[in-house]
Amino acid sequence: MTVTEFNWESTHQITYYGIEWKPDLITRGVIILVHGLGEHSGRYRHVAQILNHKGHAVIASDHAGHGQTGGKRGHVDSYDCFFEELETLLERARKNFPNLPVFLYGHSLGGSIVLAYLLKHKPKVAGAIVTSPGIKLVSDPGVMLFFGKILNRLVPSTALNNGLKLEGLSKDPQVIQAYKNDPLVHPWISARLAIELIEKGEWIRDNGDKINVPVLLLHGNSDKLTSVEGSRELAEKNRQLITYVEWDGGYHELHNEPDKDRVFEVILDWLENQLQDSTS
């Protein structure tokens, strides 16, 4: 594995932090990894290692207001900031790994970003992996939506505690402890981002039939942070292109669960099938 860190300046005057993990041997494909709310790309090093081992380069970055990227913690002006970030990563992928298939991989908030990007921008990618997407809240968003809209009109960058219940991340206590000890993790979400997340989730579910690339969608049915019902609804909208795997007893971070090896088997098998289809 060769690790390269890089930075760039966005049109929003934010300095982004990016990281690229390249396989030591032959590279067969490229994966753009999109992390979740309050976390950062460094938490996916083990994911990159597993993907590298099978010949997939991985490129990721910390979102605005997250990790080692600048900006107010937990705030973006709109999903367009995420889309610009993805465009930059895709440009790097095509420059550094020309003529190789490119996949998107989004978790939680990152899953929402990937799905919205697929629907709005129709990028030329070979497919996408989406885990535990934040496209429907576990609880009724009514009160949060009401106060969030007021704050969004008055002070959209107001930081709110995201209310993340850490015990819902994984059944592995070491994962929870590492999350608590991670100085790059934060609990904030702005009023603007909260509203965007809720409204984009509904829009994604309504328009799932318009996704035009293969998608592997995984969600644990014991997820207490994002609703498995949202993933079920989305999968029903597009059975032709969405391969839906519901993980029995799975918590939010399937890639950090005690049985994560089985999760990666599903992901790697799906990727292998996509690579075979692209060359046949």
* pTM, two decimal places: 0.94
Beta strands in the chain (DSSP E): 2-9, 15-22, 29-34, 56-61, 102-107, 127-131, 159-161, 188-190, 215-220, 242-247
Q: Which amino acid is at 133?
A: P
Q: On the CB side of 230, how many CA atoms lie within 13 Å of its CA? A: 31
Q: Which residues contact 245 (CB under 8 A, 6 or more apart)?
A: 216, 217, 218, 219, 266
Residue 223 annotated among the catalytic residues of the structure: yes
What is the tens place of the pLDDT at every residue in 238-253? 999 999 999 999 999 9
**Cβ–Cβ < 8 Å for 268, 240:** no
What is the tens place of the pLDDT at every residue in 58-96? 999 999 999 999 999 999 989 999 999 999 999 999 999
What is the tens place of the pLDDT at every residue in 22-51? 999 899 999 999 999 999 999 999 999 999
Residue bearing the bigger pLDDT, 160 or 206: 206
CATH topology for the 2-279 domain: Rossmann fold (3.40.50)
Q: Among 27-36, 144-153, 194-203, which stretch is predicted with the lowest mean pLDDT? A: 144-153
- To the nearest whole percent, how much of the chain has pLDDT over 70? 91
Domain segments of the chain as ranges:
2-279
Catalytic residue (choose from 35, 186, 219, 252): 252
Catalytic residue (choose from 61, 108, 190, 227): 108
Catalytic residue (choose from 35, 132, 223, 255): 223
**Cβ–Cβ < 8 Å for 280, 101:** no
Residue 252 annotated among the catalytic residues of the structure: yes
Q: Tell me what pLDDT residue 192 has.
A: 87
